[in-house]
Each structure stands twice: as structure tokens, then as C-alpha cells.
């Protein structure tokens, strides 16, 4: 956790107001950092469960959505697939069938294992970004 020391009340109040003003950008930066860690692991896992050609084609539509604030004032993003493959099959459908299986195909999960494997690392990355940005703003 960030450590802050101060001597003057006005100076501290000014730093706190600056921290409050920049909190949106700090949150977005932390979330994007964590989403990148999870996304990298999902891509890695996709290449393990699919052929290189199939994974490569599907990964061209993979990405991180813009970070937005929801109705409960929580900041979040989505990681997922968009578009269609060369045969016109939605990439979201292909990913879902790989993840959960179907009546004709056994499941080969790659998203859930990636999320589970990177949860602690992503949380740590967010904490680190928030601490660093707080230190920059607070002059600590």
C-alpha cells in the first residue's frame, strides 16, 4: 500500500483533490493492465487447444473493449471475440463451443483456465499501478 507523509494541511488537501480528480484515469490504467495480463494468457491457451491456423484466425478478432463505468459506479471492461471467420461462423460462437463443448465436440476450455490462472497476478498488477500512480500524485 502507498505510504504518504505530509506536514501542511493545505498541501495535503490539494494533493487529495488532485488524487480525486485523477481517480478515473488511475482506475482505467489499472484495469487495462490487468486485462492485458488475462488476455495474453487467453491467447496462449487458445494456441494450445486449437491448430495454429484456427487460433490465428480467431485471435484476429480478440480484444479488450473500452473501459467504462457501469450503473453502480464500478469501472470494468470486457475481453472477447468479435467478427466472423473465413467460413462466416461467428468467432464468439466458436469460442463458446471450444469453451463449453457441444453435442458434436468435446469441450476444450481455454478462457476459464486463463482467468483462474491469472487472477492473483492481475489483482497484484492493479494494486501496483494504483500504488505507483498514488505516489506520483501525492509526491510520496
User: What digits encode the pLDDT tens for the residues 100-136?
Assistant: 998 998 999 999 999 999 999 999 999 999 889 888 8
**What's the rounded Cα separation, in Å, for the pair 48 and 83?**
22
pLDDT reported for residue 6: 55
Give the cell for residue 61.
478478432
- Residue 22: how many CB atoms within 10 A of its CB? 15
Determine contact, residues 49/98, Cβ cutoff 8 Å.
yes
pTM for this predicted structure: 0.81
pLDDT reported for residue 140: 60
What stretches of 22-110 show up as alpha helix (H) in DSSP? 23-49, 52-59, 91-100
pLDDT reported for residue 99: 92
pLDDT band of residue 93 (cuts 50, 70, 90) is very high
| Residue owning grid cell 492481475 | 122
pLDDT band of residue 7 (cuts 50, 70, 90) is low
Integer distance in angstroms from the first to the last C-alpha of the chain?
A: 12
Amino acid at each position: 500500500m502507498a505510504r504518504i507523509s505530509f506536514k501542511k494541511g493545505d498541501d495535503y488537501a490539494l494533493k487529495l483533490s488532485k488524487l480525486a480528480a485523477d481517480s478515473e484515469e488511475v482506475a482505467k490504467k489499472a484495469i487495462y493492465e490487468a486485462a492485458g495480463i488475462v488476455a495474453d494468457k487467453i491467447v496462449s491457451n487458445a494456441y494450445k487447444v486449437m491448430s495454429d491456423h484456427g487460433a490465428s484466425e480467431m485471435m484476429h478478432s480478440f480484444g479488450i473493449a473500452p473501459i467504462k463505468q457501469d450503473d453502480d459506479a464500478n469501472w470494468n471492461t470486457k475481453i472477447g471475440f468479435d467478427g466472423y471467420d473465413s467460413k462466416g461462423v461467428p468467432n464468439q460462437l466458436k469460442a463458446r463451443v471450444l469453451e463449453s463443448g457441444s453435442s458434436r465436440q468435446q469441450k476444450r476450455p481455454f478462457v476459464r483456465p486463463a482467468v483462474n490462472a491469472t487472477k492473483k497476478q492481475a489483482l497484484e498488477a492493479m494494486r501496483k499501478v494504483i500504488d505507483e500512480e498514488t505516489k506520483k500524485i501525492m509526491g510520496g
